Amino acid sequence: MERDYQGILKSRFEARRLGNPSYSLRAFARDLRVDSSVLAALLKDRSRGVSRATAIKIAKRLGLNEEEQRLFADSVDAYHARSQSARDLARSRLEARSAVKVKSVDLDAMKVISSWHHLAIREWVGTSSFKLDYRRMAKAFSITTAEARDAWDRLRRLELVERDESGRWTAKEWVRTPDGTPSDVLRRYHGQILDRSRHALENVELSERSHTALMLPFHVGSVEEAKRLIREFRRGFSKAIAASRPSERVNDRVYCLSVQLFPLDEREGQSTFEENE
């Protein structure tokens, strides 16, 4: 993980661009509430610095926890503190905290989240259809051969796929979404899943899919409880499907269970619909 303030800033900026390719340095500066010229200098050649107080504010806006904020500020002070003694003191604190891991956004992990086919390929490893052939992989998921190769390399770097003792490729559990994942990255991922759902709706036989919907009156205060119930359902569904499969039946496809809960009506004053006259 990055421990230098410049590397942390760069990784956060690149992670946000994954979810929104048009996201600019000026937009990043706006979100961090710093002058764009100052941010550009911090990212490029360290020709300009910021105070420790400002560094802490930037670290908070990056979503770092308190220990990481101090480490980020020390990294800034090590280069930009006004006195040599303050710079030396900051460097000694950095060395003393060398065991602290900075949870800067892992770009490989962000790319796995921002492009649906990574996790699909990871699941494909557990099917009878899997073969480490990039052309076959690309055809299976309607991506390019280059995308298939890059995705596989990324899954290996993150240790989401590995060889077992027999030399067979296996998938390792995806623990959780990395800290600091930008919301636009997650929106992009879920948008892609909805696109794949629509594709299946139009191209997959009904006998091989299920699309259902339920509309109901609802109180917005129940959303958190609904999320909890959905999490429990997902876990139970996965376990029940695995337990119900006869031992002689080998998994042969990769499926996606996608659950959405959202309001259908617009709040007063928030409607995006304009009626044509």
Amino acid at site 49: G
What is d(CA 42, CA 108) in angstroms, rounded to the nearest whole number?
23
Is residue 33 left, alpha or beta, with left meaning phi > 0 and alpha meaning psi from -120 to 50? left
pLDDT value of position 43: 85
Is the CB of residue 187 less than 8 Å from the CB of residue 19? yes
pLDDT value of position 106: 63
Is residue 266 left, alpha or beta, with left meaning phi > 0 and alpha meaning psi from -120 to 50? beta
H-assigned helices in 81-144: 84-96, 107-114, 117-124, 134-141
In degrees and rounded to multiples of 5, residue 161 shows phi and psi of -135, 145
pTM, rounded to two decimals: 0.65
DSSP label at 87?
Answer: H
Spell out the CATH class of 5-96.
Answer: mainly alpha
CATH 1.10.260 positions along the chain are 5-96
pLDDT value of position 134: 95
Please list the pLDDT of the chain residue by residue as tens digits (277 residues): 456 888 889 888 887 887 678 889 999 999 999 999 999 988 887 778 899 999 999 999 887 878 888 889 999 999 999 899 999 999 988 887 665 444 444 667 777 878 999 999 999 999 999 999 999 999 999 999 999 999 999 899 888 899 988 889 998 876 556 655 666 777 888 999 999 999 999 999 999 999 999 999 999 999 999 999 999 999 899 999 989 988 888 899 999 999 999 999 987 765 554 444 4
pLDDT value of position 104: 41
